[in-house]
């Protein structure tokens, strides 16, 4: 960040002197953009074999969570018209 304008990126303005809310907003943006995890991961070196294992694990986890979310959303649907109407 040394070659860019100093207060352009990763900046949150404080409104009405509410520093806590501004800090919370900054933290939320950073964690949503994945910067916090990147910083924590780069603290120690991650060997290439560990990195491959982690990426595979994260991919599987993403697929599993998506499918489980779909299943739960399917099972939790409500307010549809009665399919057995008239029987």
Partner 1 sequence: MSAVAWQRLLGAAWGGRAAALCRGLRTGPPRLQDSAEAAEKQSATDLSTHIQVVSFDNRPFARTSCGTEGFQNAKKGTAIAAQTAAMAAAVKARGKGVLHVRVMVKGLGPGRKAAIKGLTMGGLEVISITDNTPIPHNGCRPRKARRM
Least distance from partner 1 to the Cβ atom of residue 59, Å: 21
Q: Which residue's CB is nearer to partner 1, number 7 or number 84? A: 7
Locus of tokens 């499918």: 67
Least distance from partner 1 to the Cβ atom of residue 56, Å: 18
Q: How far apart are CA 47 and CA 32, in angstroms?
A: 25
Least distance from partner 1 to the Cβ atom of residue 83, Å: 53
Q: Which residue's CB is nearer to partner 1, number 50 or number 52? A: 50
The answer to whether 40 and 48 are in contact (CB under 8 A) is no
């Amino acid at each position: 960040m040394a070659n860019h304008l100093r207060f352009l990126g990763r900046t949150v303005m404080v409104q009405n002197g509410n520093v806590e809310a501004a800090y919370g907003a900054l933290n939320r943006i950073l964690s949503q953009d994945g910067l916090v995890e990147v910083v924590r991961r780069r603290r120690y070196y991650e060997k290439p074999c560990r990195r491959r294992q982690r990426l595979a694990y994260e991919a599987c986890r993403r697929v599993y969570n998506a499918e489980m979310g779909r299943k739960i959303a399917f099972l939790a649907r409500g307010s549809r018209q009665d399919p057995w109407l008239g029987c």
